[in-house]
Amino acid sequence: MSTRLTKMRWATAFGATVALALAGCSGGGEGSTSGDDPIVVGISLPLTGDFSEPGKGVQRGYQAWAKIVNDKGGLLGRQVELKILDDQSNADRVVSDYEQLIGQDQVDIVVGPFSTRLVVPAARVAEEYGMLFVEPAGAAKEVFEQGFKNLFYAAPAVANDHYNHLAEYILALPAGQRPTTAAYAAMDDPFAQGTAYGLKEKLEAGGVRTVVDEVYPPNTTEFSGIAAKIASSKADLVVGGSQYQDGVNLIVALQQLAYQPKLAAFSTAPTSPEFAAAIGNKTEGILAPTGYTQKAPYPSNVEFVEKYTAQFGTPPEEDEANAYTTGQVVAAAITAVGCAEQGECQQKLVDWVRGNTVETVVGPLSWDATGKPKGAHMIQQWVGGEIQIVLPADAKETDIVYPKPAW
């Protein structure tokens, strides 16, 4: 092997690589802070992968928010522009996405991704760059135990409090009617498991015995084993800490085993528009918590439902509403403080959100020192082929059906 050849080979290859590296990195780079430029809002969302269904809902919510704000002339006279990256439901990606948004694309504002699992790493990046971080999905209590100072959850309640109204209802039933045994199956995900375990804690304290307690990893597709355990336990009530597809699969597997509980509650899945078709319309009596209803009388909600429906053809669901709420919180802070850019402005925004109450589509929101909202969720039930609010009593659309009819 000749010397020159060796040298040339290495030099060429190395040069090519460096060139590639620089080419790969010099893209983007928009965004500055001068007056008429748009306010660029950076978001990373799971548009593919495990959380793509809710991820796309959140995306639509943000898009609706940007459109409604821009139609009214923007914020501080500047248009709002969304820069959305796909994190593939992947915690590694979400970090580098926010790193890219803040460090390279120099966005003015960042808002949260979907799913608690992704919120924590993302929030850490935002925190370490000193950015305000309002997020639509980090509902589990762990999120608020990390010591974040810039994080705010834009929804009425954290996961563990979602079923509070249902727990009260069950424990208030007369002794003869009250369920005595319960089966829990939850995805190993801080949000999904948080909802189920929040209820479990309260029911156990109230004397309802836990007979099955199963945790399954995200991406589980085979539920017949779990379903067999639940069915053979003959538990009076079944609680699913689910996202979407896992909830559907578990319900189908339970129905295949002809299991008929007195009460069935699943988080998230039953509120999805595709839910009824996915389980063959055998939905009767299924319960789900929700933080949002299209019928809520708050003025901004009336506008949101109308304009969202005009833009997308269907009324908004909870994920869309949470994203919209996030936008509302950020917009309120920007308008009040009068700036939207990286640097000192961010701390002012954080201080403002911490000290104020914001009117949103889910009602007035305020936060404690850890960024946790102070509120509870409503409970919906499938009654007569339609999902309706049944708890709490002052917000109900129809009476709760208990024990639930056969599915």
Stretch that binds another protein, among 75-83, 220-228, 292-300, 378-386 (CB under 8 A): 220-228
Amino acid at 240: G
Q: How far is the CB of 6 from another protein (least distance, A)?
A: 5
- Give 10 or 336: the residue with its C-beta nearer to another protein: 10
Please give the residues from 20 up to 39 whose contact with another protein meets the rule CB under 8 A: 20-28
Q: How far is the CB of 395 from another protein (least distance, A)?
A: 32
Query: What angle in degrees, to the nearest 10, is found between the helix axes of 116-128 and 190-205?
Result: 120
Binding mask 274-293 for another protein (x = CB under 8 A): ---xxxx-x-----------
Coil, helix or strand for 262? Answer: coil
Residue (of 243, 221, 250) closest to 115 by Cα position: 243
Which listed residue (99, 284, 359, 397) binds another protein by CB under 8 A?
Answer: 99
- Give 89 or 325: the residue with its C-beta nearer to another protein: 89
Task: Establish if 406 lies at the interface with another protein (CB under 8 A).
Answer: no
What DSSP string describes 307-347? HHHHHHSS---HHHHHHHHHHHHHHHHHHHHT--SSSHHHH
- Give 211 or 395: the residue with its C-beta nearer to another protein: 211
Binding mask 107-146 for another protein (x = CB under 8 A): ----------x--xx--xx--xx------------x---x
Stretch that binds another protein, among 150-158, 249-257, 287-295, 384-392 (CB under 8 A): 249-257
Distance CA 334, CA 345 (A): 9
Task: Establish if 14 lies at the interface with another protein (CB under 8 A).
Answer: yes
**Integer angstrom CA distances of residue 243 from 46, 138, 195, 288, 366:** 14, 13, 11, 11, 26
Please give the residues from 347 up to 386 whose contact with another protein meets the rule CB under 8 A: none
Determine which helix (DSSP H) or strand (DSSP E) holds 209, and give its type and residue range: strand 209-216
Q: How far is the CB of 393 from another protein (least distance, A)?
A: 33
Bridge partners, 389 (sequence order): 380
Task: Establish if 178 lies at the interface with another protein (CB under 8 A).
Answer: no
Distance CA 175, CA 185 (A): 25
